[in-house]
Amino acid sequence: GENVEQHPSTLSVQEGDSAVIKCTYSDSASNYFPWYKQELGKGPQLIIDIRSNVGEKKDQRIAVTLNKTAKHFSLHITETQPEDSAVYFCAAVNNAGNMLTFGGGTRLMVKP
Amino acid sequence: GAGVSQSPSNKVTEKGKDVELRCDPISGHTALYWYRQRLGQGLEFLIYFQGNSAPDKSGLPSDRFSAERTGESVSTLTIQRTQQEDSAVYLCASSWGGGEEKLFFGSGTQLSVL
């Protein structure tokens, strides 16, 4: 089955700096890669996703890049703010296309 | 309701007791997932329901865990003879169907087994 690895597990940045979280996946047939943000005491929420027919997608301060050849994808947050502090999960759809496999999560801390 | 609703929000039980956790998905969502999240850890897949298809139970950790779903509505996750290692947040999510659809998560049930 699909295996998703996520790094780093924790990331601390100064407010205004950029943050990058990286994920690798094992199934070359995977073609959908969402990112979820989980704030304390809440369930994860989708913040951005990318499909295999594009290499990059941006939404304001958030961008995601995908390298299908290398089987890795990354989340980039620019001009970080304290409210970006949360746990971020990457995911990939398995080869049957019916279920997400999540990475282990990254705890992002933005220091004011 | 507008979102995925889970109840109870918190459950404290004694080791050996059975517990039942409930999930009300968004109306019309055909797919429903249960995940377990231990403190400070990632999302551990438990079970997946899609419409009237047989559920994918491949993530259930032992035969003490079971889940049911009535049609495309409410789901219950039952843990029998609870153990301390069952302590975790149990998250439910629903979607329109298929892995490429956005998952909507509930706020979870915090289970504490004493």
User: What DSSP assignment string belongs to B32-77?
Assistant: EEEEEE-TT---EEEEEEETTSPPB-TT--STTEEEEE-TTS-EEE
pLDDT for the residue numbered B44:
92
For chain A, percent of residues with pLDDT exceeding 70: 97
Is the Cβ pair A99, B42 closer than 8 Å?
A: no
Kindly list the strands in the beta sheet with B5-7, ordered across the sheet, starting from the edge strand earlier in the chain: B5-7, B19-24, B75-79, B65-69
Question: Tens digit of pLDDT for each residue in B11-47?
Answer: 999 999 999 999 999 999 999 999 999 988 889 999 9
Residue B1 above 60 pLDDT?
Answer: no
| Confidence band, pLDDT 50/70/90 cuts, at residue B51 | confident
Cα B11–B49–B27 angle (5° rounding)? 80
Which is it for the CA torsion B42, A29, B97, A90, positive or negative? positive
Tokens describing residue B73: 């509505």
* pLDDT band, very low/low/confident/very high, at A2 (cuts 50, 70, 90): confident
pLDDT of residue B95: 92
| Mean of all residue pLDDT scores within chain A | 93
- Is the pLDDT at A96 greater than 80? The verdict is no
pLDDT of residue B34: 97
Closest CB to B50: pick one of A41, A46, A98.
A98
Q: Does A44 touch chain B (CB under 8 A)?
A: yes
CB pairs under 8 A between A and B: 60
Whether A93 and B99 have beta carbons less than 8 Å apart is answered as yes
pLDDT digits (tens, 9 = 90+) for B87-101: 999 999 999 876 678
* Contact residues, chain A, for B56 at CB < 8 Å: 98-99
pLDDT > 70: percent of chain B: 97
**Residue contact A49–B41, C-beta within 8 A:** no
Contact state of B42 with A97 under an 8 Å Cβ cutoff: no
pLDDT tens for each residue of A12-66: 999 999 999 999 999 988 989 999 999 998 999 999 999 888 899 999 999 999 9
Please identify which residue in the block is written with the tokens 């407010």: A15
Partner residues linked to B110 by β-bridges:
B10, B89
B10, B21 Cβ separation under 8 angstroms? no
Distance CA A70, CA B110 (A): 38
